[in-house]
Structure 1
Amino acid sequence: MPPFDSLIGVLSSRSFSTIWFWLALIGMWSAAGRTVLGVPAEVLTRARTAIRRGEAEGAPVITLLDWLSLTLPRWRLGPREGAIFLAVTSFLLTSLAIMGFGFGLELAQALTLVGLPFWLLFWMRVRLARRLVPLLAAAQEGQTPLAEAAAGTLRHMTRHRLWVTLLSMAAVLVTLLWGMLWVLLHPFGI
């Protein structure tokens, strides 16, 4: 049991050798891959099937665009909010990385290896939302046919989902390799 008389003692707790860390990591990535900007994967699948059948103005496509109209406003960041969020999160991740990899604190290393990919995932989602807003707005105003807007959103969302899958696999692999190395080099937690 680590000494809890200082902040350094708390931050040096065991992470890589507990099953709870690995369950939380897998659970977080599993939850992150189930939706794209809050739209369930089933909605994407149904809309893609409807477009392939030629039912571009059917209920599944309208359901997809309705989901997007509800979830996209959450992902809008103005330049000021984006800069503030970027600065604060960059500071926190850099601080964790310095404490973890500079001072050798296991918990800070674990939090860095979990936090950095989710930070990248957040910015990927913001970027996707910025790409989808004009498509959805054009479809709502009638400037773009519904089939074209739905196909464009599906293309962007499918590509995003592929990148999220690759990011999650890389993040888990890197965390796994680093965790194994840490446990091998520090068998007693010291």
Structure 2
Amino acid sequence: MATIFELIDLRSFSNLWFWIALAVVWSSASHFVMGVPFDMVMRAHRKGGQVEADLRELVRINAGRMLYIADNAGVIVVGVLSFVLTVLGILGFFYWVEFCQALLLIGFPMSLVWLLSVRTARRIAGQELTMAQIYSRLRGLRLAIQAIGMLAVLVTAFWGMYVNASLGVLGG
């Protein structure tokens, strides 16, 4: 039983798997903008034609899906997300549960990404946009997601170094 707990270490900031998961989360968030793979956006912008038509349809489908979720369950999602983030914050920073700190440092910025994605979906679905405008909106959203991701990784890295240094000084 002790081997299992050694394998599943809840001291997140000293665990390589946490940092791999953090990289995967932000890499995926910046690649799948509103659920649309960004390489498809770039390919459609370069080639046009059928790829562009496919992109327009995929953006329409994903924007509709996001707005359906936001309109029908948005209040519940925001309430549950607020509750979970609050619990993680209290457990993480008041009771000093490192695993909860790590989850909060991933979850809070990702909630901002979700809000920006819903806002962009509303802007796209609310108008009849040209492909140039769709490209512009998706690029802008990706840039915002990357900025949030860079700041989140920076804050997480600094906080992780602080926690690891504190635990090293205190003797773990």
TM-score w.r.t. the length of structure 2 is 0.86
| 1:132 maps to which of 118, 124, 136 | 124
CA deviation after TM superposition for structure 1 residue 157, in Å: 0.7
What is the 5 A alignment of 1:1-190?
A: 13-50=10-47, 58-76=49-67, 77-79=69-71, 81-135=73-127, 138=128, 149-187=130-168, 190=172
* Counterpart amino acid of residue 64 in structure 1: L
Of Structure 1 and Structure 2, the greater helix share is in: 2
Amino acid at match of 2:65: R
172-181 vs 69-78, which moves further: 69-78
For the residues of structure 1 that align with 2:171 and 2:73, how far apart are their CA atoms?
40
CA distance in structure 1 between the aligned counterparts of 2:158 and 2:27, rounded to whole angstroms: 19
Letter of the 1:28 partner, please give it. Answer: V
1:14–1:189 contact (8 Å) kept in structure 2: no
- Whichever of the two has the greater Rg, that structure is 1
Aligned residues with identical type, % of pairs: 36
In 1, Cα distance between equivalents of 2:31 and 2:94: 35
Residue 46 (structure 1) shift: 2.4
Alpha-carbon RMSD across the aligned residues, in angstroms, is 2.1
Looking at structure 2, the residues matched to 22 and 71 of structure 1 have their Cα atoms a distance apart, in angstroms, of 29
Match of 1:7 in 2: none
> 2:12 aligns to what SS in structure 1?
coil
Q: 1:86 to 1:39 in 2, by over 3 A?
A: same
Distance change >3 Å, CA 133–CA 14, structure 1 → 2: same
Give the letter aligned to residue 29 of structure 1: W
Q: Which runs of 5+ in 1 are unaligned?
A: 5-11, 139-147
Residues 78, 42 of structure 1: alpha-carbon distance in 2 compared, 3 angstrom cutoff: closer
What amino acid is aligned across from residue 39 of structure 2 in structure 1?
E
Q: Deviations over 1:18-38 (max 9, x none)?
A: 101101110111111112112
Other structure's SS at 2:14 match: coil
Change (3 A) 1:184 1:130: same
Give the C-alpha shift of residue 83 in structure 1.
Answer: 1.5
Q: Distance in 2 between matches of 1:73 and 1:122?
A: 14
Matches of 1:38 and 1:75 in 2, distance apart?
9
Change (3 A) 1:27 1:61: same
1:2-51 deviations in Å (ceiling 9; x for gaps): xx9xxxxxxx931100101101110111111112112111221123235x
Contact 2:70 2:118 in 1 (8 A): no
- Kept in 2, the 8 Å contact 1:183–1:189? The answer is no
DSSP-derived class of the 1:13 partner: coil
Q: What displacement does 1:82 show?
A: 1.3
